[in-house]
Amino acid sequence: MATQNPKGTRDFLPKDERVQQYIFSKWRETCLAFGYEPYEGPTFEHLELYTDKSGEEIVDQLYAFQDKSGRNIALRPEMTPTLARMVAAQGHSLPKPVKWFSMPRLFRYERAQKGRLREFFQLNMDILGAQSLDAETDLLLAICALMRNFGFKPTDFRIGLSNRRLLNALLEQLGVENRNAVYAALDRRAKIGEEAFGELLAEAGMSPEARKTLNDAMGCASLGELEPFCVSDEARAALDELRFVLGRMAALGHGESVGLDLNIVRGLAYYTGLVFEVFDAAKSMRAVAGGGRYDDLCAKLGGEKVTGVGFGMGDVVLKDLLEEHGLLPDVSRDRLDYWLVSFDGDVETLFRTAEALRAKGRRVAHPLELRKFAKQMQEADRSGAAKVLMLGSDKAPEGSVEVKDLRDGSQGVVPLDQL
């Protein structure tokens, strides 16, 4: 019990943490390649930042508490409210648009299960202050680049695109008053099954005909099929948004990875436009990423109106997916350039040689208490080093050192200044 981590959290031993660092470095590298700038915020925020703005489900899952001064505090369950708060606080002094990224640790008190933990990391990429739908294009291209940089093929994943605005317009056409109830039902549809889904729509006041029309529209696999359902100007304008972004992505060579998926709703309350989710091709796991446009969030936090669009990509499903595709690199080897061992028990010379090699930019370590030579070589094997330097060997003349390559087992004598 004393050695147990809290439920839904993870201990990262070095073999696990090296995998995390691999994921983080790919995330960071891709963001920087697209010109996104890094930011961070506090791990906890004032509770009010979430209670009005996030979705109901996420608010139910908050780790919330009072601090010693009685402030209502919550561990951040998502990054977007923090981002919107920071941008709103800058006001006009921050030239727009901005492209920002962060890799926050997030917290949700929910049932721990495959792909879902109570504490996880999430890459967030966002563009604030851009009206153009090419903000969406930039983010979708970044998702394609992320997946490619991890080694996935364009057919290994699928980005499904929908539009909150279109859904809203369709529900308006159908005369639905209680749209939030319908969104909640749609978001839970896959989990609860068709019967319960139909009942929820009926409870939301939808007639059997309205339900059938909605169902038919949601089942459309192409923009062409969907077009007849879009009667109002608003619905047609929303359809055009989908057409624009899908067309742009196809023109840029990503038609294979991006498509229409009207079943995507997104649980969060603040989305106002296009929404999207990324799944493995077989859709056998939870979404690996998801996001959309939130044009009203900054203004709701008391700032000026600043448009926003962004997505989050969690580390948990991503790691499962990388494992399934055999795409996790072997992170156990070549962590060190040299491991030093000693024939003559002179520890100070180990320290001195290590310092000299580090000054030349090498990664070097050595035992801190000397055992028998055979034991030292066992330690060397475990060290993950590329080569062992054997100090104090009488085979090596002054100024030289005996070297064993741990990758191929070859041995030789090398002048120290050539290391």
> C-beta of 262: minimal distance to a second copy in Å?
26
Stretch that binds a second copy, among 10-18, 212-220, 270-278, 288-296 (CB under 8 A): 10-18
Q: Which of residues 393-412 bind a second copy (CB under 8 A)?
A: none
Nearer to a second copy, 131 or 207 (CB): 131
Query: Binders of a second copy: how many residues, by CB under 8 A?
Result: 90
Give the type of residue at 27. Answer: W
Residue 412 CA, chain-centre distance (Å), reads 46
Determine which residue in the list 57, 115, 116, 134 makes contact with a second copy, applying CB under 8 A. 134
Nearer to a second copy, 103 or 313 (CB): 103
**Alpha-carbon gap, residue 168 to 239, rounded angstroms:** 12
**Alpha-carbon gap, residue 81 to 73, rounded angstroms:** 14
Residues pairing with 413 in the sheet: 402
Q: Which of residues 11-70 bind a second copy (CB under 8 A)?
A: 11-14, 17-18, 20-21, 32-35, 37-46, 48-49, 63, 65-68
> C-beta of 387: minimal distance to a second copy in Å?
13
**Alpha-carbon gap, residue 347 to 343, rounded angstroms:** 10
Determine which residue in the list 23, 58, 73, 201 makes contact with a second copy, applying CB under 8 A. 73
Q: Which of residues 136-165 bind a second copy (CB under 8 A)?
A: 137-138, 141, 145
**Residue 334's closest CA among 373, 381, 386, 285?**
386
Tokens of 280: 């493995």
Determine which residue in the list 116, 179, 188, 248 makes contact with a second copy, applying CB under 8 A. 248
Q: Which of residues 108-127 bind a second copy (CB under 8 A)?
A: 109, 119, 127
Determine which residue in the list 86, 204, 288, 322 makes contact with a second copy, applying CB under 8 A. 86
Does 362 help bind a second copy (rule: CB under 8 A)?
Answer: yes
Q: Is the dihedral of CA 265, 267, 272, 273 positive or negative?
A: negative
Does 95 help bind a second copy (rule: CB under 8 A)?
Answer: yes
> C-beta of 232: minimal distance to a second copy in Å?
26
Residues pairing with 400 in the sheet: 415
Determine which residue in the list 23, 77, 80, 97 makes contact with a second copy, applying CB under 8 A. 97
Question: With contact defined as beta carbons under 8 Å apart, do 134 and 142 qualify?
Answer: no
DSSP 116: B
Nearer to a second copy, 245 or 262 (CB): 245
Contacts of 417 (CB under 8 A, 6+ apart): 399
**Alpha-carbon gap, residue 80 to 91, rounded angstroms:** 17
> C-beta of 102: minimal distance to a second copy in Å?
8
Stretch that binds a second copy, among 200-208, 250-258, 267-275, 407-415 (CB under 8 A): 250-258
Site mask for a second copy (CB under 8 A), range 279-308, x = bound: ----------------------xxx-----
Adjacency order of strands within the sheet including 400-405: 364-365, 336-342, 385-391, 400-405, 411-415
